[in-house]
Amino acid sequence: MFKKFSSEEVSAQNQVKASVQRKIRQSIADEYPGLEQALEDLLPKKSPLIVAKCQNHLNLVVVNNVPLFFNIRDGPYMPTLRLLHQYPDIMKKLQVDRGAIKFVLAGANIMCPGLTSPGGALDDTVAAETPVAIMAEGKQHALAIGFTKMSAKEIRDINKGIGVDNMHYLNDGLWKMEHLD
Amino acid sequence: MAGKPQPVRVLYCAVCSLPAEYCEFGPDFEKCKPWLIQNAPDLYPDLVKEANAKEADKVANQLQSTGISSGGDGAASSAPKQEEVKRLPGGKIKKKERQEVTIEKMTRNKRKCITTVKGLELFGVKLSDASKKLGKKFATGASVVKGPTEKDQIDVQGDIAYDIVEFITDTWPDVPEAAIFFIEDGRKVPAA
């Protein structure tokens, strides 16, 4: 999704009003309970919260010129990888095998066999249509953020085709956009 | 503040910006190697070994070359510079664009026409300056227009196709006459 993404795609940046800000905070806190404690550091109540609207119904939540979260249409908020690296335990994790890394880093969606093979790992509590962190065999840090197409059980049973949509991966356009101004 | 998760500090490669452990899958692992050896030797033990071996080779080589001739250094440094190849995502190699200027005449309202000049920017010419100069020289309107495929081009009002070659070569000596082409009936015709 962010394969080609640059500041040119940002069509409007607005400082949102307090009520919207509260709503965003609330939905992030609901989505990532583990992050609640740190949320005050990330989205200080005082400092202005900016929402950057981009093409394809994409919104970026920006604080102090750093993009922290993104969402599509009214979908769930997902952290950027830089943020996820800092707080790795806020999302459920799926692990792909080593052979898949190359393709995921080129923007490919995550196929079921890469998750079910010996190098992969599945969190059985993952339901369909939830944001997940994609980890890799033998690596500590997440390499992508995905949005599941099937639940973990289905991935294991069907074991074919796209299991997780690749939303955001290392070295894509959003990754390169460390600062937005 | 109990239970508050502390942010993890991740080691990012200074060269390719990925976390160091993903450098091997990054756009240019070769370039990251020196940085990795210095900053994250425990992640890639093979690399360090390799580097040490190379270092040893180098030292040995140097010893040899100094023994043979003292003037050998100059030749080594003037080794052919590797042409930088831009890699597109997916490993495709982007071709270096041919440096040429194309001039096309488009008719408008039967007896009026517009001359478009493409590719001047490849010679390091500022398009806004160029359009001003062209407008002044031919006493017509000239503007920089976003052309097809996101390339900028200069539109000049009027038929100036034949004078323009001389003008371009005079004003910007960097542009050789051989690199200027006309487009006539969809075919490229060299101006020279």
Pairwise CA distance, residues A71 & A147, whole Å: 11
Whether residues A161 and A98 fall in one domain: yes
The answer to whether A113 contacts chain B (CB < 8 Å) is no
pLDDT tens, A11-62?
888 888 888 888 888 899 888 888 888 888 888 888 888 899 888 889 999 8
The answer to whether A34 contacts chain B (CB < 8 Å) is yes
Whether residues A144 and A104 fall in one domain: yes
B99-188: CATH class:
alpha beta
Question: Quick one: pLDDT at residue B98?
Answer: 66
Q: Is A127 within a domain?
A: yes
Each domain of chain B, given as residue ranges in start order, spans 18-61, 99-188
Whether residues A102 and A165 fall in one domain: yes
Tell me, what CATH number does A162's domain have? 3.10.400.20
Pairwise CA distance, residues B17 & B26, whole Å: 9
Q: Is A178 within a domain?
A: no
The candidate with the shortest Cα–Cα distance to B5, out of A30, A41, A81, A142, is: A41
Grade residue A95 by pLDDT with cuts at 50, 70 and 90: very high
Whether residues A59 and A112 fall in one domain: no
User: Which of A37, A170, A175 is nearest residue B5 as measured by Cβ atoms?
Assistant: A37
Question: Quick one: pLDDT at residue A147?
Answer: 93
Question: Quick one: pLDDT at residue B5?
Answer: 65
Residues in chain A: 181
Please say which residue of A79, A103, A121 terminates a domain: A79
Share of chain A above pLDDT 90, in %: 24
Q: Is A1 within a domain?
A: no
Question: Quick one: pLDDT at residue B149?
Answer: 61
Question: Quick one: pLDDT at residue B72?
Answer: 43
Whether residues A91 and A143 fall in one domain: yes
Best to test chain A binding among B22, B31, B44 (most A CBs inside 10 Å):
B22
Whether residues A122 and A92 fall in one domain: yes
Pairwise CA distance, residues B14 & A45, whole Å: 33
Residues in chain B: 192
Q: Spell out which residues of chain B touch residue A35, defining contact as CB-CB under 8 Å.
A: 5
Whether residues A164 and A91 fall in one domain: yes
Q: Is A140 within a domain?
A: yes
Calculate the alpha carbon distances from B29 to A71, A141, B15, B57 in Å: 32, 18, 9, 22
Pairwise CA distance, residues A88 & A78, whole Å: 13
* pLDDT one digit per residue (tens) for chain B, 192 residues: 345 567 788 888 888 888 888 888 877 788 888 888 888 777 877 777 777 777 777 766 666 665 554 444 444 444 444 444 445 454 445 555 567 788 888 888 777 888 888 887 777 778 888 888 888 888 888 888 776 666 778 888 888 777 888 888 888 887 787 888 888 777 777 766
Domain of A90 in residue numbering reads as: 86-169
Residue A160 has pLDDT above 70, yes or no: yes
Calculate the alpha carbon distances from A20 to A26, A27, B124 in Å: 10, 11, 47
Please say which residue of A79, A103, A118 terminates a domain: A79
Q: Spell out which residues of chain B touch residue A108, defining contact as CB-CB under 8 Å.
A: none
Grade residue A145 by pLDDT with cuts at 50, 70 and 90: very high
Question: Quick one: pLDDT at residue B68?
Answer: 53
Is A134 exposed, middle or buried (CB count within 10 Å of its CB: 0-12, 13-18, 19+)? buried
Please say which residue of A79, A95, A117 terminates a domain: A79
Whether residues A75 and A121 fall in one domain: no
Share of chain A above pLDDT 70, in %: 99
Q: Is A146 within a domain?
A: yes
A86·B7 Cβ contact <8 A: yes
A106·B89 Cβ contact <8 A: yes
Whether residues A110 and A142 fall in one domain: yes
Whether residues A62 and A109 fall in one domain: no
Domain count for chain A, please give it.
2
Calculate the alpha carbon distances from A36 to A11, A162, B16 in Å: 30, 31, 32
Whether residues A116 and A101 fall in one domain: yes
